[in-house]
Structure 1
Amino acid sequence: MMATATPLPGQSPNSIATPLPSRNPLPLSAGQEQQVRDIYYKRVRTKCADEIREFATCALNKTFTATFVCRPQRRAMNSCMVQYATQDEQDRAREEWFATRDVRKKEREDKETRRKEQEAFHREWWGLDEQGRKILERDRKRNGSGSGVVEGK
């Protein structure tokens, strides 16, 4: 005997259930979508950390036999992940990504500032001009300014 699912309210018994659309229809680039997926997977793995740990402990030092020996732990881990890997969880991950957008922008700006400071320090330390060429000592003496950059070249 085949089990049938009961239809949702307002749904005819013969209609096929379609996934609910995302609450965040704003399209993102592939890299941004990957960042959202990383947040999503991290959240799901965090919720199923105990089951994952149990499976990993069981599978430790086993080869292909882990599939058979650790079947209960694997099934528990998979069912936990399926339970939490929902469209709502993905929407929450996307909302978290949008909420931390300003923080990531600030981090990128700070990183670029540090990079420029390090580049300036590197040029000063090694006596390089803006193009990365070595400033020669004789050029400094010839100019008399001490800057070492030959003007007009």
Structure 2
Amino acid sequence: MAAMASTNTPGDALPARRLPMPSRNPLPLSSGQESQVRELYHARVRGHCAAEIKLFAECAMGRTVTAPFKCRAQNRAMNTCMVAHATPAEQDAAREEWFATRMERAREREKREERRKEQEKFHREWWGLPIEDRDGEKGKDVVRRAERVGGFAARNDDGQLSKDRHR
């Protein structure tokens, strides 16, 4: 195998070949996490080439079919810049940045969950649910009940008035 490391005897002049060094962050991530790292990587590359992207966008503004022909030089400059900065080192830097900001993302998730709970509490108070019915299955059942429109409730199969149309 050519890719495998070979052993050399002391008399050989050629150095031993090795596999390339893997990423500095070899921890496997879920597909969602990998997509976040990829988005961060692409944003970093676009950040390096912002000037070239802006020139191409200005040239292509107002053009449709003719943009590839009229803006060929700007397109090549933009692509050259992006290819030059789209390196494994940049991927590693994006991954390191993702790991560095994971505590911040956890705090943001906690804030979003706290906000969701506050909104749910407000919703229950707004609709006038009694305090004992605001939490648990009983409170959810009150929320699910059908509204009475026009002041008349639906009748059951027995002919009695029913407060709940869904049962």
- Whether the TM-score (by the shorter chain) exceeds 0.5 is yes
Larger radius of gyration: 2
* Moved beyond 2 Å, runs of 4+: 9-12, 18-21
TM-superposition CA deviations, 1:79-109 (whole Å, max 9, x none): 0001111000010000000000011011101
Q: Using the TM superposition, give the Cα deviation of residue 21 of structure 1 relative to its aligned residue in structure 2, in angstroms.
A: 2.6
Distance of aligned partners of 1:79 and 1:11 in 2 relative to their CA distance in 1, 3 Å threshold:
farther
Give the residue type in structure 2 aligned to 1:65.
T
Higher relative contact order (CA 8 A, sep 6+): 1
Give the residue type in structure 2 aligned to 1:91.
D
Q: Using the TM superposition, give the Cα deviation of residue 63 of structure 1 relative to its aligned residue in structure 2, in angstroms.
A: 1.6
TM-superposition CA deviations, 1:34-92 (whole Å, max 9, x none): 10011111111011000000001111111221111111100000000011110000100
**How far apart, CA to CA, are the structure 2 residues paired with 1:85 and 1:132?**
54
Query: 1:105 aligns to what?
Result: 106
When the two structures are aligned, how many residues end up with a matched partner?
Answer: 122
Distance of aligned partners of 1:39 and 1:111 in 2 relative to their CA distance in 1, 3 Å threshold:
same
2:88 paired with 1:79: no
**How far apart, CA to CA, are the structure 2 residues paired with 1:56 and 1:122?**
46
Distance of aligned partners of 1:105 and 1:81 in 2 relative to their CA distance in 1, 3 Å threshold:
same
Give the residue type in structure 1 aligned to 2:77.
A
Query: 1:39 aligns to what?
Result: 40
Q: TM-score, normalised by structure 2?
A: 0.67
Percent identity over paired residues: 62
Q: TM-score, normalised by structure 1?
A: 0.73
Gaps of 5+ in 1: 1-8, 13-17, 136-153
Give the residue type in structure 1 aligned to 2:35.
Q
Give the residue type in structure 2 aligned to 1:94.
R
Q: SS state of the match for residue 31, structure 1?
A: helix
